[in-house]
Amino acid sequence: MNGSVRRLAVAAAVLGVWSGGVARGETPAAPAAPSVQVDGRDVSKLSQIEDATLEGLLGLSLEEQLGQTESVSRSRESVLRAPATITTIDATQIRLSGASTVPDVLRFVPGVTVVRNAPGNYVVSLRGTGGLASNNVILLVDGIPLNNPLDGTVSWDLVPLHVEDIERIEVVRGPVSPTYGADAYTGVINILTRTSIGLTPSYLVRLRGGASPQGGSAGSLSARFVHMGPKLELRTFLNAVHDDVAAAPANPAIPATAPAGDRLAAMTVLSLKVSRTSSVSLEIGGVWSRRSGMDHLVLDSQAQTQRLLFGRALYELTDLGGHAGNFRLWAQSINVEIRAPSTAETGFTYDGAGSLRGAVGTDLVFPLSGTLSLQLGGQGSIERIEAPFVNPNANRALRPAYGFYAGLKASPSRALDLVVTGRGDLVPIAAELEYSYRASAIYHRDSWGLRLTGASAFRTPSYVEATGRFIDPASQLILLEGSDHIKSPRNTSLELGATFSPSSRLTISPTVYVSRLSNLMVEDFESLVRRTFRNSTTPRTFLGGELEASWRIADTLTVLPSAGILQWLDGAGEGDANVGVPSQNARFTGGLRVQGVLGNDRWGYGVGATVASPRSYRVRSGIPPIVIASNIPTTAFVSGVLERQLVAAPSLWGSVRIIGSIPGNAVESPLPLATPMGQSAILGIEFRRD
Amino acid sequence: MRDVAQSGIWILSLVWLTACLSPLDAPSAFSDQVYLCGAENAALEDAALAQCRDTDAQCEGVVSFRGTVDAQPVTVGSPITHSGITDVGRADGTTSREIFVFGLAPYFTFSFDLPGFEAPPGHTASGLFVPVEGVCSTMTNQTPCEHPVLNLEARGGTYLSIINGLVRDIQIETADDLQVYFTGELARGGNVEGCFHLLAPHP
C-alpha cells in the first residue's frame, strides 16, 4: 500500500469526500491530489507521517478502516456490519501480489480453491464445492454477472480487465442468493473497476512480456483512462493478453498441447451526476478470448473461442432524506457466443453455443426510522439459448425468470444490527418457487465485531443439466442427456465470524461455519439405459474454518496470512456428485503474502505463496466419458514482484514478476491433458499519470 | 418519498407481469419412441414394417419393448438392423437353435438373444421356421431351461451391459415371418415386455 495515497484516502473517507469507501489507491510518486482539510490542516501534505499515526490522529475505528461494500446486500454498508463473510483485496494488494490473473489473486483468499486446467482456463470454487464443474460461484464485474447463461460457468478469461485495472476484488463467502437470486449459493466474487481519487484525469499504459522455462511466453498490453469529474465520470479500459506458459501437458508422452490463452477486451463506464441525489451510468464491455476449451465435459485441449458482450444502464437516487432512502433502477444484458471447431480426434465441443440474458430490476432502501430500514427489490429477465447439444424443445426459446426480495435491518442499539432477508425466485428450469433466506446478527464495537449468520441458497440447474442432449456423431446414440426433473442444488449454512483489531496495525478475521450441500448435481454416466444428470441423494455436511489477517508492521512491510480448513462430517456418496466430494477438496489451504513500498514510494515489492493439501479424483467425465483417476499432491503457488519508479516525470515504472509452482512441474487439474501450473518471469514497463 | 415508492412498486409490478413462466419441457428421447407390440398397436407395427421394406437402409424387421430397466422407464421401437440364427448340433442328433436380433435405442444399441430353441432334424439355419413345441418357457415349464431364455444385451458409448431376463411367456405367431412376443423379468431388476417381427428373407 502506498503510504501517501492511503493517507489521503483515509482522510477523504473520514471527511466523506469520497463516498466509495476507504480508498486504496495506487502508488504515484507525487500525487496531484486536491487539498484535503481536517480541522484546518491539509492532511494531503502529511506524507511523512506514518499511517498508523495519522489513523490514530483521525480516530479511525475498525469499521472505518475496513471500508464499505455493496457486494453483500446490493446497498452500501460497512464491511464490518455486512451480514456475510467478505474478503476485500485492494488494488495495491493485487499489484503487489505479483499475480497476473484474477484466479491467481484469489488463491490468497481463504475458502477459495483455484485449479488451472490450461493457459487462461481456470476453475474457481468456494467452500467445499471444489470439483470439476465451474458453475458454482457467481462472477460480477461492477455488480454485473458474467456467468454464461447457458451453463452457469465462469470463464475467467472473459474478465474484461487487466488484473491491475481492478479497484477491489470482494469475495463474499457463503450463501448470497437472498441478494442475487439463483446461483449465488456458495458466494459471489465481485470485481470493481478502477477509479481514481483525483479530480484530474489519469491514464496509464502498461506493457508486459516474459517467458517460461517450460517454453512459451506471456505478455500483455493494456491501458486505462479515468476521469472522475464532479459531474461526469468516464473510465475506459483496454487489455490484450497472451499466455502460452506451460501449454504442454506435464507427461511428455502426451503430444497434445493446449492453445495459448489470448484475449482482447475493452470496457467503458460512463456516469453522469444529474443532481445532488441522482445519477445515471452506462457500462459496456466486450471480450474476445481464445483458449483451451478443456473442462469436465470437454477432455480434449482443443481451442475454443468465446465472445462476450455485456452492458448495464443504471439510474440511481441516493440520500434522498426522510423515509426515502436509496432507489436504483437497472437494466443489464449479457451475450456469450462460443466457437470450438470439432476435429476427428475430438469428442464433444461447445461449438455453436450461444446465450443471451437481459434483465431489468430495481433495488430500494427505505429508512423506516432511525433504527429500522426496509430493503425491497426485484428483477425480471429473459433468456435465450441456442446450442446444437440442447434438447430441441428448449432451443431458441425465450424464457423468462423473475425474483423478488425483501429485507429488514434493525439496529436496536448502536452496537447491534439484526438483518433478515428473504427472496423468492421463479426460474425457467426449476419452474417452481425457489426460496432463499439469510438472518444475521452483528455486534460491533470500535475495535472488534462478531457476526452470526444463518442462510440457505440455491443454484438453478443449468440449461445443459436440464436440457442438454449430447449425441455421438458416429453412432447417433445419446451419450448424456439433461433432465427437466432435477432439483436445484442447495447450500444451507450457519457461520460465526469475527473481526478484531488489537492495534491499528493488525486486523484478524476468523470465521467458522458448518455447511450442508444437498441436491448436488450428478453426471450419471453409470446408467446404461439413460445417462443423464440427476441429483445426488446424499447431502454433504462439513465444518470449515477460515482465517485472514493483515499486519502492517511498517509502511514498508505488510504481512497478509490466510488459511482455510475443511472437515467433512460425512463421506457418503463419495465420487457421486460433480462437486462437493470430500476427496476432491483440499482439506487445508493457506497463503502468506509479504509486501510493501520503500524509498519514498519509489520501490514496491511483494512475494506470496499459497499451498493446497492433496486431492484425489475417481470420476467418469468427458463425452464420451472416460474414467479419470488422479491424485493431486500438495502443490504450492508462488508469485512475486519488484517494481521501481524509473523516471519521476513523466512517471515511468519498471517491474519484474515471477510466477511459479512447487514442485516445478506441478499439475493441479485432474483432467488428462491438463497443463502444469507453469513458471514464468515477466518484465514490465508502465507509464502512469495519476 | 411517495414518488420513489410508487416508481418502485410500478417497476416491481412490471417485472412480475413481464413474465408468465412455463415449465421447461425437455423430455427424454424415450418419449419419442413408439411401442409397436400388441393388437392395439398393429397399425403402427404395420407402418413400421412397410417403412422397413421400403428403406434402402439395413432393416430386417422391427423390434420393440417397454418396461423398466435400471429403474428407468423405457420405451423402444426400432428397426432390426441385423439378425442371426445359429444352430448347434447336439449329440442326440437334435439341433439347438439361437436367434439374435439387433436394434437401436436412443441411448444404446441392444440385441435380444433367444437361445434354447429346438429345430427339427435336418432343418437348415437359413430358414426361419421355429417349432412352437421347442420353446423353453419358465412359465409353461415344457422344456427345462439350460440358459436364460432371453438376453438383452445393451451397449452405449464405451459400456457393455448384459441384462439377463427370465421370460415368462413367448408366443411365436407365424412360421413365415418370425414374430415373437415376450414378457420377462430382468435378473438385475426391472421388467420388459415386447416383440420383434423378423421379416422373411427376400427370395
pLDDT at B116 over 70: no
Highest-confidence segment of A529-543, A641-655, B176-190: A641-655
Whether B106 contacts chain A with CB within 8 A? yes
With CA atoms as reference, the chain B residue closest to A484 would be B26
Helix axes A3-15, A51-58, angle to 10 degrees: 10
Q: Please give the pLDDT value at position A353.
A: 92
Beta-carbon contacts of residue B96 (< 8 Å; ≥ 6 apart): B87, B88, B89, B90, B115, B116, B117, B118, B119
pLDDT at A635 over 90: yes
With CA atoms as reference, the chain B residue closest to A377 would be B12
Mean pLDDT of A610-639: 89
Residues A635, A651 contacting (CB under 8 angstroms): no
Burial of A38 (C-beta count, 10 Å sphere; 0-12/13-18/19+): middle
pLDDT band at A492 (very low <50, low <70, confident <90, very high): very high
Beta-carbon contacts of residue A238 (< 8 Å; ≥ 6 apart): A222, A223, A224, A265, A266
Q: Please give the pLDDT value at position A468.
A: 87
Q: Please give the pLDDT value at position B138.
A: 38
A-chain CB neighbours of B79 within 8 Å are none
Instruction: Please state the pTM of the whole predicted model.
Output: 0.84
Sign, CA torsion B86/B89/B92/B93: positive
pLDDT band at B142 (very low <50, low <70, confident <90, very high): very low
Q: Please give the pLDDT value at position B150.
A: 64
Mean pLDDT of A54-81: 79
Whether B195 contacts chain A with CB within 8 A? no
Could you give the strand order of the β-sheet that contains B95-104, starting from the edge strand earlier in sequence? B72-79, B61-69, B190-198, B178-186, B159-172, B150-156, B109-119, B95-104, B82-89
pLDDT at A19 over 60: no
Q: Where are the alpha helices (DSSP H) in A222-378?
A: none
A-chain CB neighbours of B22 within 8 Å are 399, 428, 431
Residue A227 grid coordinates: 476521469
B-chain CB neighbours of A527 within 8 Å are 70, 72
Q: Please give the pLDDT value at position A563.
A: 96
pLDDT over 70 for what percent of chain A? 88
Q: Please give the pLDDT value at position A283.
A: 96
With CA atoms as reference, the chain A residue closest to B74 would be A529
Residues A26, A690 contacting (CB under 8 angstroms): yes
3-state SS of A624-655 is CCEEEEEEECCEEEEEEEEEEEEECCCEEEEE
What whole-number distance in Å separates Cα of residue B75 and Cα of residue B101? 17
User: Alpha-carbon Rg of chain B, whole angstroms?
Assistant: 25
CA distance A356 to chain B (A): 16
Most A-contacting residue of B15, B163, B164 (CB-CB within 10 A), to test interface:
B15
pLDDT at A65 over 90: no
Highest-confidence segment of A35-49, A568-582, B153-167: A568-582
Q: Please give the pLDDT value at position A93.
A: 93
Q: Do A531 and B15 touch (CB under 8 A)?
A: no
With CA atoms as reference, the chain B residue closest to A431 would be B23
Mean pLDDT of A16-25: 34
Most B-contacting residue of A357, A529, A531, A537 (CB-CB within 10 A), to test interface:
A529
CA distance A141 to chain B (A): 23
Please state, rounded to an integer, the average pLDDT across all residues of chain A.
85
Q: Which of A382, A393, A477 sits opposite B156 (nearest CB)?
A: A477
pLDDT over 90 for what percent of chain A? 50
Q: Please give the pLDDT value at position B99.
A: 78
Q: Phi, psi (5° rounding) for residue B94? A: -80, 170
Q: Do A531 and B107 touch (CB under 8 A)?
A: yes
Higher pLDDT, A200 or A189: A189
Q: Please give the pLDDT value at position B130.
A: 44
Residue A488 grid coordinates: 436445484
Q: Please give the pLDDT value at position A104.
A: 95
Q: Do B158 and A478 touch (CB under 8 A)?
A: no
Q: Do A393 and B26 touch (CB under 8 A)?
A: yes
Mean pLDDT of A211-237: 90
Number of neighbouring beta carbons within 10 Å of residue A209:
14
What whole-number distance in Å separates Cα of residue A11 and Cα of residue A38? 8
Q: Do A528 and B158 touch (CB under 8 A)?
A: no
Burial of A290 (C-beta count, 10 Å sphere; 0-12/13-18/19+): buried
A-chain CB neighbours of B8 within 8 Å are 327, 362, 364, 376
Q: Which residues pair with A43 in a beta bridge?
A: none
| Separation of CA A248 from chain center | 27
DSSP states of A375-418 as a string? EEEEEEEEEEEE-TTB-TTTTT-EEEEEEEEEEEEEEEETTEEE
Whether B57 contacts chain A with CB within 8 A? no
Q: Which of A477, A624, A626 sits opposite B107 (nearest CB)?
A: A477
Q: Please give the pLDDT value at position B128.
A: 41
Instruction: Report how far apart the first and last C-alpha atoms of chain B are (Å, whole number).
Output: 91
Q: Do A477 and B108 touch (CB under 8 A)?
A: yes
DSSP state of B131: -
Could you give the strand order of the β-sheet that contains A532-535, starting from the edge strand earlier in sequence? A469-471, A478-481, A532-535, A521-524
Mean pLDDT of B191-199: 84
Whether B25 contacts chain A with CB within 8 A? yes
Q: Which of A323, A362, A529 sits opposite B107 (nearest CB)?
A: A529
Would strands A187-193 and A138-141 be described as parallel, antiparallel, or unpaired?
Answer: parallel
A-chain CB neighbours of B108 within 8 Å are 477, 528-529
pLDDT band at B24 (very low <50, low <70, confident <90, very high): confident
Mean pLDDT of A243-270: 83
What whole-number distance in Å separates Cα of residue A437 and Cα of residue A420? 8
A-chain CB neighbours of B26 within 8 Å are 391, 393-394, 466-467, 482-484
Q: Please give the pLDDT value at position B106.
A: 87
| Separation of CA A609 from chain center | 19
Q: Which residues pair with B76 in a beta bridge?
A: B65
Higher pLDDT, A571 or A454: A454
Q: What confidence tens digit (pLDDT) does each residue in A648-666 have?
A: 888 999 999 999 998 888 8
What whole-number distance in Å separates Cα of residue A135 and Cα of residue A71? 19
Comparing A32-46, A275-289, A359-373, the range with the smallest average pLDDT is A32-46
Q: Go through chain B and tell me how many residues it has.
A: 203
Residues A248, A675 contacting (CB under 8 angstroms): yes
pLDDT band at A225 (very low <50, low <70, confident <90, very high): very high
CA dist A177 to A325, A430, A438, Å?
A: 23, 15, 9
Domains in chain A with CATH codes: 37-63 (no CATH), 67-689 (2.40.170.20)
Q: Please give the pLDDT value at position A418.
A: 96
Q: Do B108 and A426 touch (CB under 8 A)?
A: no
Q: Please give the pLDDT value at position B155.
A: 67
Q: Please give the pLDDT value at position A8.
A: 43
Q: What confidence tens digit (pLDDT) does each residue in B46-87 have?
A: 898 888 888 777 888 899 999 888 778 889 999 998 888 777
**Percentages (nearest 5) of helix, strand, coil residues in chain A:** 10, 50, 40
The ipTM assigned to this model is: 0.74
Whether B29 contacts chain A with CB within 8 A? yes
Q: Which of A393, A472, A528 sits opposite B159 (nearest CB)?
A: A528
Q: Do A479 and B8 touch (CB under 8 A)?
A: no
pLDDT at B124 over 70: no
Q: Please give the pLDDT value at position A214.
A: 73
pLDDT at A647 over 60: yes
pLDDT at A441 over 70: yes
Highest-confidence segment of A169-173, A253-257, A314-318, B181-185: A169-173
Residue B156 grid coordinates: 452405449
Most A-contacting residue of B14, B22, B24 (CB-CB within 10 A), to test interface:
B24
Q: Output the CA angle A252-A254-A260, nearest 5 degrees.
A: 90
Beta-carbon contacts of residue A84 (< 8 Å; ≥ 6 apart): A72, A172, A173, A174, A176, A438, A440, A453, A455
Comparing A435-444, B100-109, B172-181, the range with the smallest average pLDDT is B172-181
Burial of A203 (C-beta count, 10 Å sphere; 0-12/13-18/19+): middle
Q: What confidence tens digit (pLDDT) does each residue in A384-422 have?
A: 999 988 888 788 888 888 899 999 999 999 899 999 999
B-chain CB neighbours of A531 within 8 Å are 107, 156-157
CA dist A602 to A54, A592, A642, A685, Å?
A: 21, 24, 11, 14
> Cell 435491518, residue?
A409
CA distance B58 to chain A (A): 15
Q: Which of A378, A402, A528 sits opposite B161 (nearest CB)?
A: A528
Q: Please give the pLDDT value at position A206.
A: 95
Q: DSSP 3-state assignment of A439?
A: strand
Q: Do B12 and A378 touch (CB under 8 A)?
A: yes
Whether B70 contacts chain A with CB within 8 A? yes
CA-based nearest residue to A616, from A645, A594, A583, A641: A583
How many alpha carbons lie under 13 Å from residue A18 in its C-beta half-sphere?
26
pLDDT at B119 over 70: no
Whether B52 contacts chain A with CB within 8 A? no
Q: Please give the pLDDT value at position A309.
A: 97
pLDDT band at B201 (very low <50, low <70, confident <90, very high): low
Q: Please give the pLDDT value at position A22.
A: 32
CA distance A574 to chain B (A): 21
Q: Where are the beta strands (DSSP E) in B16-149?
A: 61-69, 72-79, 82-89, 95-104, 109-119
With CA atoms as reference, the chain A residue closest to B2 would be A324
Residues A297, A621 contacting (CB under 8 angstroms): yes
B-chain CB neighbours of A428 within 8 Å are 21-24
CA distance B172 to chain A (A): 27
Mean pLDDT of A486-496: 93
Q: Do A529 and B72 touch (CB under 8 A)?
A: yes
CA distance A368 to chain B (A): 11
Residue A358 grid coordinates: 437481459
A-chain CB neighbours of B16 within 8 Å are 378, 380, 402, 404
Q: What confidence tens digit (pLDDT) does each residue in A94-111 have?
A: 999 999 999 999 999 999
pLDDT band at A686 (very low <50, low <70, confident <90, very high): very high
Q: Phi, psi (5° rounding) for residue A464? A: -65, -45
pLDDT at A274 over 70: yes
Q: DSSP 3-state assignment of A198?
A: coil
Highest-confidence segment of A341-350, B147-156, B189-198: B189-198
A-chain CB neighbours of B158 within 8 Å are 624-626
Q: Please give the pLDDT value at position A16.
A: 38
Mean pLDDT of A427-431: 72
Q: Do A481 and B29 touch (CB under 8 A)?
A: yes
With CA atoms as reference, the chain A residue closest to B190 would be A529
Q: Please give the pLDDT value at position B139.
A: 36
Mean pLDDT of B153-171: 56
CA dist A404 to A365, A380, A438, Å?
A: 14, 9, 14
Q: DSSP 3-state assignment of A51?
A: helix
Residue A23 grid coordinates: 480508498
Q: Which residues pair with A205 in a beta bridge?
A: A223, A687
Q: Do A529 and B74 touch (CB under 8 A)?
A: yes
Q: Which of B19, B28, B156 sits opposite A400 (nearest CB)?
A: B19
> Cell 488489537, residue?
A502
